């Protein structure tokens, strides 16, 4: 079992952000999480990562049950890309591309642990795979939005994670860069399990096998994409 949630609710103040979530992700499943802004998509990912703790319910990720596991260690086996990384901008901006990518091995923003030459060689291999080898030595703040996103995905894959979380990774990208990024994501599904958060149905690539529809913190439907991507379910989810 990759992810298991039983009766999970997440409440902030008097606001119910996630409401009685039952959800399982099995081996060899690739999931898209669809919903409007404010539907609870990012909160769901934050709980999977252990950045948020459910108000009630049980969560297991990669066989580790929350409350009985070391979450910082667990995060080293989970890759994560999100526009929320902007809050770490001051740290990221002064780092070289290679340093940002290597930091993914330690699930940290910035390097605080010993790094080997082998780590930097591996980072360069990811740069070549993502066709950004020419950025070697450049400082992160000088990159374009598309280049930054590729660097962050390479960072997420640095630890060879079993689970990769992509939270609206194409936001703010032009059409060409978005298509390049989706092609890269297509390749990454061969090596790990992906949770892809978006509100654009056209971003559901062929390799994604399952869909979770969220609305107002509740699951509208979840399962194989051919059964979930119906007019009725999508109309209910997107209110149109």
Strands 3-12 and 56-61 come out as antiparallel
What backbone phi and psi angles, to 5 degrees, belong to 228?
-95, -35
- Spatial separation of the C-alpha atoms in residues 43 and 46, rounded to whole Å: 5
User: What does the chain look like in DSSP terms, one character per residue?
Assistant: --EEEEEEEEEETTEEEEEEEEEEE-TT--EEEE--TTSSHHHHHHHHHTSS--SEEEEEETTEETTSS-HHHHHTTEEEEEGGGGGGHHHHHTSBHHHHHHHGGGT-SS--S---HHHHHHHHHHHHHTT-GGGTT-BGGGS-HHHHHHHHHHHHHTT--SEEEEESTTTT--HHHHHHHHHHHHHHTTTSEEEEEES-GGG--TT--EEEEEETTEEEEEEEHHHH--HHHHHHHHT-
Beta bridge partners of 214: 219
Nearest CA among 29, 139, 32, 38 for reference residue 90: 139
Take residue 41 and report the two structure tokens written for it. 């998509």
pLDDT reported for residue 149: 87
Rg (Cα) of the chain, in Å, rounded?
Answer: 18
**To which residue do tokens 């066989």 refer?**
63
CA 238 to chain centre: 22
Closest CA relative to residue 156, chosen from 117, 137, 130: 130
Per-residue pLDDT of the chain (240 residues; tens, 9 = 90+): 999 999 999 999 999 999 999 999 999 999 999 999 999 999 999 999 998 999 999 999 999 999 998 988 898 899 888 876 665 666 777 888 998 998 888 766 666 667 778 888 989 998 998 889 999 999 988 999 889 888 988 988 888 899 999 998 888 888 888 888 888 888 877 778 999 999 888 899 999 999 999 999 999 999 999 999 999 999 999 988
Look at residue 26 in the predicted model and tell me its pLDDT.
Answer: 96
**Looking at residue 197, what is its pLDDT?**
93
Residue 88 has a pLDDT of 63
pLDDT of residue 200: 87
């Amino acid at each position: 079992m990759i992810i298991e949630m039983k009766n999970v609710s997440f409440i902030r103040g008097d606001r119910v952000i996630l409401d009685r979530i039952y959800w399982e992700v099995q081996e060899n499943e690739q999931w898209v999480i669809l919903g409007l802004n404010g539907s609870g998509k990012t909160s769901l990912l934050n709980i999977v990562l252990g950045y948020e703790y459910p108000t009630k319910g049980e969560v297991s990720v990669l066989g580790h049950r929350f409350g009985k596991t070391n979450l910082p260690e667990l995060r080293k086996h989970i890759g994560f890309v999100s526009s929320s990384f902007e809050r770490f901008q001051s740290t990221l901006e002064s780092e070289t591309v290679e340093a940002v990518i290597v930091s993914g091995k330690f699930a940290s923003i910035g390097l605080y642990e010993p790094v080997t030459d082998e780590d930097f060689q591996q980072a360069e291999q990811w740069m070549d795979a993502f066709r950004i080898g020419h950025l070697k030595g450049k400082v992160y703040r000088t990159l374009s939005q598309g280049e930054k996103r590729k660097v962050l995905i390479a960072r997420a894959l640095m630890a060879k994670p079993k689970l990769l979380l992509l939270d609206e990774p194409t936001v703010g990208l032009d059409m060409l860069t978005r298509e390049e990024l989706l092609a890269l994501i297509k390749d990454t599904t061969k090596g790990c399990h992906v949770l892809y958060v978006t509100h654009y149905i056209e971003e559901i690539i062929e390799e994604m096998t399952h869909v979770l529809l969220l609305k107002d913190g509740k699951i509208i439907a979840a399962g194989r994409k051919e059964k979930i991507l119906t007019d009725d379910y999508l109309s209910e989810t997107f209110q149109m």
